[in-house]
């Protein structure tokens, strides 16, 4: 007759009993494991901060460039209208405004969808 025993744990650190066994095998090993886990956690948090900062900066730059481009199109539209090409100028102006409104609406919908998904994940986690 054979007996098989398995232990499963979840999380960055093993349970205290197992850490104690590691320390019995090699003194100080439990401290090294805890230190390694702390360092990895710190590293992951720094990476997350970097990603968040970078995404925020990229979003801001994207908005600034879109604003500048939109101003350029509006200026060109007004210039065309002033030259007597009112159909072309008005078409460019309306297209520009339609695109801006479309991006705004799409962004709001995407933001609501993302928040809804995060709420669902939190509900499932509880």
* Residue 39 banded pLDDT, cuts 50, 70, 90: very high
User: What are the tens digits of pLDDT across the range 59-77?
Assistant: 899 889 988 988 898 888 8
**Is residue 80's pLDDT more than 80?**
yes
Residue carrying structure tokens 């102006």: 93
Long-range contacts for 44-50 (Cβ within 8 Å, ≥24 apart)?
A: none
Alpha-carbon span 76 to 60, nearest angstrom = 24
Residue range 98-121: mean pLDDT, rounded? 87
Residues 31-52 as b or e (16 or more Cβ within 10 Å = b): eebeeeeeeeeeeeeeeeeeee
Closest CA to 90 of 102, 74, 72: 74
**Is residue 42's pLDDT more than 90?**
yes
**Is residue 125's pLDDT more than 80?**
no
Query: Quick one: DSSP state of residue 11?
Result: S
């Amino acid at each position: 007759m054979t007996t098989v025993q398995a232990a499963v744990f979840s999380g960055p650190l093993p349970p205290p009993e197992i850490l104690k066994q590691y320390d019995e095998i090699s003194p100080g090993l439990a401290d090294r494991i805890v230190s390694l886990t702390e360092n990895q956690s710190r590293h992951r948090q720094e990476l997350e901060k970097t990603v968040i900062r970078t995404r925020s900066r990229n979003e801001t730059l994207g908005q600034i460039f879109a604003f500048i481009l939109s101003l350029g199109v509006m200026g060109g539209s007004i210039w065309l209208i002033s030259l007597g090409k009112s159909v072309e100028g008005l078409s460019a102006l309306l297209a520009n405004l339609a695109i801006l409104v479309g991006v705004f609406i799409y962004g709001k919908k995407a933001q609501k969808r993302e928040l809804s998904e995060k709420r669902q994940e939190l509900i499932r986690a509880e």
